[in-house]
């Protein structure tokens, strides 16, 4: 019997078959029929097949299928057309010598039943075609199996069911192709398989077939299959009982239950999150409601107060209009009197003018002299300013000259002072030298005892010391030369540097003064233009603010709509936060060294230009995956996350993606030269490139959807994504980008711009009035500053010119400068080299000293330390002496420079004093000139006054008229002012009214716009009547409004908090409903899962008990006293560990199947086959030498059982044992002549005496 379970996708056809000659191969699958069977249950994509219907029962009275005969044509050893049969309805034995072709009878049936060539003992189908010396060139082979249905009668009689004959044939060709026919009609194999299954022929486990040597394998099956593609005793029995149909649905239901549980967990987390957010928003909502009510009460009070203002102002305007009429009437009377006086004054003035023409020239000359007088006075001011600057400069020069002279005295004293200090240092040096010599002697004495031991070291040290002394002298000399050269360079450059810095300061002061003058002059002109236009700007600003408020309302409305559309998406995206927790935990493990193979989140391992952010975020769903080096690392990460209940993550193992490298390294040219998105990704670690290619593949990036469409649907299909996030898959499907989110972003940006502009305009509007006043004050100050700067700038120009001459005179010689710099550099190089050489020798000396000290001990070390300290003191004194000597030379040079500087300052002071004297003379001359011009100016004035005395009377009349005119003008001015004030007062009142009315219209109660418990929509504002307004008190309303605003403060009701709470509450109810829905689905699926598992167990145990009971009976009957049973390894769950087949042969103990003999294994297998036949009868059995391992006694028992107890099935048995074939109903003899097999059918009946005698006589 075949016991290997076929793979679900395995075809029964030979792999070499081609569909060119057979139209069934492509669909020839034995164990899959796509249509749902009657009685099956489908739950979504889960299909539960119905319980298998028995092909027939153990009752022999019903119809059953039998094979009547087989027709072979050129099949294997059968040449030409050979008919096998007819077969008996119950028991047919096939006999024949070895090699005659008995097993080819079974092979012919298997060929028709769709088995591969390898299952028919051939390598390929073409081998099944007959080939012999007599028939060498046969091109095809064919087998036809003839079936029919019968109803058993008494004995060997039966009744043929009408129209039940079936002929199934298969024809094979040399090219390894084949085809099937069903009653002469060419069909696909699945139709043949469906027919055979419908009659109970088991093509899945081949229970109808027991091949040669395979009978023992039935009992040898393992308790349970070890892999998916094997079959154990459990699977074998489950397929027969019919509970295997539950296995796949139960597994799918378990996945569904897990999926629904995960979905419910996600929904529950989202409900809890929304509930927390709702609770967090409740307090702000309550505060917003309270503040909204306070604000609305304040607005209602303001509404009443503004209406009161308008009412009272209208009353005031009415009274003031009456007063204005009275003032205008008084002004008209004054104008009449003033007109009369003006006419008289004009007449008198004309008379006076005619008599004063002779004095016009004198008046003209007086004006010319007055102009000259003013010019001289201005020049006098300029001279005075120059004198002040010159005096200031003189004082500065005197102070500097005093300082330089003191410095010169100090420098001249330095040589003498340094010589005295040098003498002191030399005395101290001699003292240190003597002390050092004594210490050296003591050291030499102390080392006398160890000198022999350190003789070699001392000699080495002495040689180094001699060398070091010479090098020290070189270092001292080099250091002295370097200091001298550096000091000489600094002194040489100091004068020019100082004067140059002074010139730069003067220039900076001049540039600052000139810049200030131009800036203030420009600012004055700007202010003169800006102040008159600011009031017009103020009006335009208010209009713009109103426009912005209207636009803000529209944009805010659209923004809220878009935000509502995206709220669900944002809630879903919040789940990504948990990914951050997972990533943080894994990266922490990596840093701790426990998971070193983690690279990180894929999106964090690369970068891309910002304009491609939308594209890659849309088309690459694996950005949140975590990249690891190998599958083992990924498994370790999964175990860590599972153990610590942190969450889930998806991993990309780089060791499984290396095959992609040859694809992404290939350089291709794409349509319209668009780039590949993968090529735009930049990474620091190229090891992660396979992960990016795994996620992106050859996705192309297009600018817009039109270009993407052209590329995607071209001759070669591509996956294309646009910059806006639109994706076109290779299959042609298209998904949208982020237009809604982008639009919301644009609207929010515009709203922000409007609010920023509005805030800016409000600030400008508030400061504009103050700006006008500040501008006027600033103009006055600018005039004063400009007059001062006009005098300061020329003076600074003169000082700069003088300083430039001084800098030119102090300019250094570049050749001398280069020479000194070269001297410094050369001295520095020599000093560095000398120090390096001395340092090397000192290291050698220190090394030898260390060796000597190690031998000498502590006393020698102390003496050596004393010698070293004295040596350092000597070096220090020598350095001081060198420094003092350098100071003498430096002071001499500095004294010379100082003398030169003093001389130059004395020259500058003399020039300044001469300039002061010149300015003094100019001032004196200007004073005399001004006195003369003033005298002449006064004399002309007196002459003009005297010459006009003759017109005194006329002038008095004119003066009197002018006095009256001025008096009337004053009265008119007062009257006119009164009128203007009254008009202004009326206008002010009139202007206030529209403002209050606009404010009344703009008053808007705070309204959340939603209905919910605890929130009442506000009633509209009231318009009061005149009678009601009379009863209100302005003061009382103001006090009430002040108190209300004090309670409110700067706070504003956050209506968004109310709307957010309502939206969050709606979302909470929605999420709760989703949770209830998914919980119901989960419970339904879990109940179905539990019910199906229970059903599977119940059905299986029911059938199992029947089979094991029958097995006992069969085995006891066959073995005449033995015992056998099927046992559950796990009595609580039969599907976990499987089933054990235990046997106790007659007169023996219980044994494992593997420990039985061949015959015992055969009997055990046959007992199980017969027990299974009892439970689920099969219409036919084909067995090949099942009696090979049995003794004659057991063969007889099995043969008689087959003949007597299996009336409802057809047995075709190949046997060479007479005990078996003598018990059959019909014999089919197989024999071979000339390499061609033939057959002969004989009824196996006992002959009557006469017939038997005739047969003997023949």
- Structure-block tokens of residue 563: 């935000």
pLDDT, residue 73, reads: 93
More confident residue, 501 or 447: 501
Q: What is the pLDDT of residues 5-27, one digit of tens each?
A: 433 333 343 333 333 333 333 33
**Residues with Cβ within 8 Å of residue 311, at least 6 apart in sequence:** 1026, 1029, 1030
**Residues with Cβ within 8 Å of residue 783, at least 6 apart in sequence:** 524
- Mean pLDDT is highest, among 14-18, 462-466, 696-700, 1010-1014, for 696-700
Q: What is the pLDDT of residues 871-930, one digit of tens each?
A: 888 888 888 888 888 888 888 888 888 888 888 888 888 888 888 888 888 888 888 888
Q: What is the pLDDT of residues 538-594, one digit of tens each?
A: 777 777 778 877 777 777 767 766 665 555 444 444 444 455 678 888 888 888 888
Band (pLDDT 50/70/90 cuts) for residue 165 is very high
pLDDT, residue 773, reads: 64
**Is pLDDT at 171 greater than 90 in this prediction?**
yes
- The rounded distance, in Å, linking the Cα atoms of 1055 and 1004 is 13
**Is pLDDT at 156 greater than 90 in this prediction?**
no
- Mean pLDDT is highest, among 1-10, 70-79, 121-130, 960-969, for 70-79
Q: What is the pLDDT of residues 267-283, one digit of tens each?
A: 899 888 988 888 887 77
More confident residue, 654 or 1156: 654
Burial (CB count within 10 angstroms: exposed 0-12, middle 13-18, buried 19+), residue 964:
middle
**Is pLDDT at 835 greater than 60 in this prediction?**
yes
- Mean pLDDT is highest, among 217-226, 697-706, 830-839, 885-894, for 697-706
**Residues with Cβ within 8 Å of residue 986, at least 6 apart in sequence:** 317, 320, 321, 324
pLDDT, residue 954, reads: 67
Where do the structural domains in the chain lie, given as residue ranges?
25-230+1185-1231
Residue with tokens 């039943």: 113
* φ and ψ of 504, to 5 deg: -65, -40
Residues 51-79 have a mean pLDDT of: 78
Q: What is the pLDDT of residues 722-755, one digit of tens each?
A: 988 788 887 665 555 445 566 667 777 777 777 7
Average pLDDT, the chain: 79
Q: What is the pLDDT of residues 774-833, one digit of tens each?
A: 666 777 677 777 777 777 778 778 788 887 777 777 777 778 778 888 888 888 888 888
Residues 405-431 have a mean pLDDT of: 84
pLDDT, residue 1067, reads: 86
Cβ count near 1135 (within 10 Å): 20
What is the value of pTM for the model shown?
0.42
**Is pLDDT at 133 greater than 80 in this prediction?**
yes
pLDDT, residue 243, reads: 85
Strands 46-48 and 166-173: unpaired
Lowest mean pLDDT among 351-355, 494-498, 583-587, 691-695: 351-355
- The rounded distance, in Å, linking the Cα atoms of 89 and 20 is 39
Lowest mean pLDDT among 212-226, 1001-1015, 1176-1190: 1001-1015
pLDDT, residue 628, reads: 92
Whether 268 contacts 1062, CB under 8 Å: no
More confident residue, 724 or 264: 264
- Mean pLDDT is highest, among 112-121, 126-135, 363-372, for 126-135
Strand locations in 541-637 (E): 598-601, 606-607, 626-628
pLDDT, residue 67, reads: 94
Burial (CB count within 10 angstroms: exposed 0-12, middle 13-18, buried 19+), residue 1061:
buried
**Residues with Cβ within 8 Å of residue 146, at least 6 apart in sequence:** 67, 68, 69, 70, 71, 85, 165, 166, 167
**Is pLDDT at 328 greater than 90 in this prediction?**
no
**Is pLDDT at 530 greater than 60 in this prediction?**
yes
- The rounded distance, in Å, linking the Cα atoms of 455 and 446 is 14
Q: What is the pLDDT of residues 355-410, one digit of tens each?
A: 565 566 666 676 677 777 767 766 776 777 678 778 877 888 888 888 888 888 88
Residues 519-542 have a mean pLDDT of: 75
CATH number, domain 25-230+1185-1231: 3.40.50.300
């Amino acid at each position: 019997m075949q016991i290997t379970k076929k793979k679900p996708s395995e075809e029964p056809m030979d792999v070499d078959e081609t569909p060119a000659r057979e139209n069934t191969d492509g669909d020839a699958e034995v164990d899959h029929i796509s249509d749902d069977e009657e009685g099956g249950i489908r739950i979504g994509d889960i299909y539960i097949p119905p319980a298998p219907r028995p092909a027939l029962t153990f009752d022999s009275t019903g119809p059953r299928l039998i094979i009547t005969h087989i027709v072979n044509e050129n099949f294997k050893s059968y040449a030409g057309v050979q008919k096998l049969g007819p077969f008996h309805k119950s028991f047919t034995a096939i006999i024949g010598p070895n090699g005659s072709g008995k097993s080819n009878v079974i092979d012919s049936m298997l060929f028709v039943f769709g088995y591969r060539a390898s299952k028919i003992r051939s390598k390929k189908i073409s081998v099944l075609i007959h080939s012999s010396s007599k028939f060498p060139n046969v091109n095809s082979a064919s087998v036809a199996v003839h079936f029919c249905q019968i109803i058993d009668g008494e004995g060997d009689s039966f009744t043929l069911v009408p129209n039940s004959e079936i002929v199934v044939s298969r024809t094979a060709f040399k090219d390894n192709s084949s085809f099937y026919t069903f009653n002469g009609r060419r069909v696909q194999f699945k139709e043949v398989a469906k027919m055979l299954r419908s009659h109970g022929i088991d093509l899945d486990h081949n229970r109808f077939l027991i091949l040669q040597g395979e009978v023992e394998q039935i009992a040898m099956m393992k308790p349970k299959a070890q892999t998916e593609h094997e079959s154990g005793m459990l699977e074998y029995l489950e397929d027969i009982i019919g509970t295997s149909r539950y296995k796949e649905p139960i597994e799918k239901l378990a996945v569904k239950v897990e999926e629904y549980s995960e979905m419910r967990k996600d929904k529950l987390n989202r409900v809890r999150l929304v509930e927390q957010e709702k609770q967090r928003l409740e307090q702000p909502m309550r505060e917003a409601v309270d503040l909204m009510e306070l604000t609305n009460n304040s607005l209602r009070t303001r509404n009443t107060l503004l209406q009161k203002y308008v009412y009272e102002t209208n009353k005031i305007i009415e009274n003031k209009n009456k007063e204005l009429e009275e003032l205008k009437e008084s002004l008209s009377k004054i104008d009449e009197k003033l007109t009369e006086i003006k006419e008289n004054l004009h007449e008198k003035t004309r008379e006076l003018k005619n008599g004063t023409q002779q004095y016009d020239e004198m008046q003209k000359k007086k004006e010319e002299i007055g102009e000259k007088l003013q010019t001289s006075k201005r020049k006098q001011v300029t001279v005075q300013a120059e004198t002040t600057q010159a005096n200031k400069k003189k004082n500065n020069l005197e102070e500097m000259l005093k300082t330089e002279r003191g410095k010169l005295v100090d420098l001249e004293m330095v040589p003498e002072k340094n010589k005295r200090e040098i003498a002191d240092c030399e005395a101290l040096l001699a003292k240190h030298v003597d002390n050092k010599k004594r210490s050296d002697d003591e050291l030499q004495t102390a080392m006398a005892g160890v000198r022999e031991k350190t003789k070699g070291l001392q000699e080495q040290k002495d040689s180094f010391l001699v060398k070091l002394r010479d090098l020290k002298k070189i270092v001292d000399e080099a250091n002295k030369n370097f200091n001298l050269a550096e000091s000489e360079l600094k002194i040489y450059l100091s004068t020019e540097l100082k004067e140059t810095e002074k010139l730069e300061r003067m220039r900076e002061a001049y540039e600052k003064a000139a810049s200030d003058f131009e800036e203030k002059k420009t600012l004055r002109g700007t202010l003169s233009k800006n102040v008159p236009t600011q009031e017009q700007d103020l009006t335009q600003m208010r209009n713009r603010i109103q426009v912005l408020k209207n636009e803000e309302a529209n944009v805010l409305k659209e923004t809220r709509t878009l935000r509502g559309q995206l709220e669900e998406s944002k809630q879903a995206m919040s789940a990504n936060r948990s990914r951050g927790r997972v990533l943080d935990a894994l990266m922490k493990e990596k840093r701790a060294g426990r998971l070193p193979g983690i690279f990180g989140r894929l999106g964090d391992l690369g970068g891309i230009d910002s304009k491609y952010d939308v594209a890659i975020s849309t088309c690459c769903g694996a950005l949140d995956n975590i990249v690891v080096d190998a599958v083992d690392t990924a498994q370790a990460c999964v175990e860590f996350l599972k153990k610590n209940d942190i969450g889930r993550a998806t991993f990309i193992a780089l060791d499984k993606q290396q095959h992609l490298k040859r694809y992404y390294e290939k350089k291709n040219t794409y349509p319209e030269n668009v780039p590949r998105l993968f090529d735009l990704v930049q990474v620091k670690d190229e090891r992660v490139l396979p992960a990016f290619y795994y996620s992106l593949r050859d996705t192309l990036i297009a600018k817009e959807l039109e270009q993407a469409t052209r590329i995607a649907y071209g001759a070669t299909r591509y996956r294309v994504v646009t910059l806006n996030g639109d994706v076109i898959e290779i299959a042609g499907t298209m998904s949208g980008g982020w237009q809604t989110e982008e639009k919301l972003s644009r609207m929010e940006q515009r709203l922000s711009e409007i609010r920023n502009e509005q805030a800016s305009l409000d600030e400008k509007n508030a400061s504009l009035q103050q700006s006008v006043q500040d501008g006027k004050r600033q103009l006055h100050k600018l005039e004063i500053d400009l007059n001062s700067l006009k005098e300061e700038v020329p003076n600074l120009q003169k000082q700069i010119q003088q300083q430039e001459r001084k800098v030119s005179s102090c300019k250094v010689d570049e050749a001398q400068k280069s020479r000194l710099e070269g001297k410094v550099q050369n001295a520095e190089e020599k000093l560095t080299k000398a120090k390096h050489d001395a340092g090397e020798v000192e290291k050698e000396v220190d090394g030898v000293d260390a060796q000597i000290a190690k031998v000498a001990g502590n006393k020698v070390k102390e003496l050596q330390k004393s010698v070293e300290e004295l040596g350092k003191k000597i070096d220090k004194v020598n350095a001081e002496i060198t420094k003092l000597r350098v100071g003498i030379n430096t002071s001499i040079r500095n004294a010379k420079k100082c003398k030169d500087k003093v001389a130059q300052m004395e020259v500058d002071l003399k020039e300044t004093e001469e300039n002061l004297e010149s300015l003094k003379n100019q001032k004196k001359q200007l004073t005399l000139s001004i006195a003369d011009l003033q005298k002449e100016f006064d004399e002309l004035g007196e002459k003009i006054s005297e010459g006009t005395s003759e017109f005194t009377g006329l002038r008095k009349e004119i003066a009197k008229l002018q006095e009256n005119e001025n008096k009337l003008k004053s009265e008119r001015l007062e009257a006119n002012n009164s009128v203007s004030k009254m008009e202004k007062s009326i206008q002010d009142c009139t202007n206030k009214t529209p403002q209050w009315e606009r404010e009344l219209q703009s008053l808007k109660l705070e309204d959340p716009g939603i209905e919910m418990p605890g929130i009442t929509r506000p009633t509209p504002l009231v318009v009061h009547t005149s009678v009601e307004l009379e009863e209100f008190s302005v003061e009382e309303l103001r006090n009430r409004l002040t108190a209300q605003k004090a309670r409110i403060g700067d706070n504003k009701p956050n209506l968004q908090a109310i709307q957010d709470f309502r939206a969050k509450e709606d979302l909470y109810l929605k999420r709760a409903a989703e949770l209830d829905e998914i919980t119901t689905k989960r419970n339904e699926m879990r109940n179905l899962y539990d019910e199906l598992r229970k059903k599977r167990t119940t059905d299986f145990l029911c059938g199992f008990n029947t089979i094991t009971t029958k097995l006992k009976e069969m085995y006891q009957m066959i073995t005449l006293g033995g015992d056998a049973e099927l046992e559950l390894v796990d009595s609580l769950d039969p599907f976990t560990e499987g089933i054990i087949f235990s046997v106790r042969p007659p007169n023996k103990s219980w044994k494992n199947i593997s420990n039985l003999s061949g015959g015992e294994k055969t009997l055990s297998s046959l007992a199980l086959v017969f027990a299974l036949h009892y439970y689920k009868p099969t219409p036919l059995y084909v067995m090949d030498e099942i009696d090979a391992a049995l003794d004659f006694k057991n063969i007889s028992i099995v043969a008689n059982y087959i003949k007597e107890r299996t009336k409802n099935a057809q047995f075709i048995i190949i046997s060479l044992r007479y005990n078996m074939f003598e018990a059959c109903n019909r014999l089919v003899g197989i024999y071979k002549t000339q390499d061609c097999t033939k057959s002969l059918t004989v009824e196996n009946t006992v002959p009557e005496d006469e017939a038997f005698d005739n047969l003997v006589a023949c």
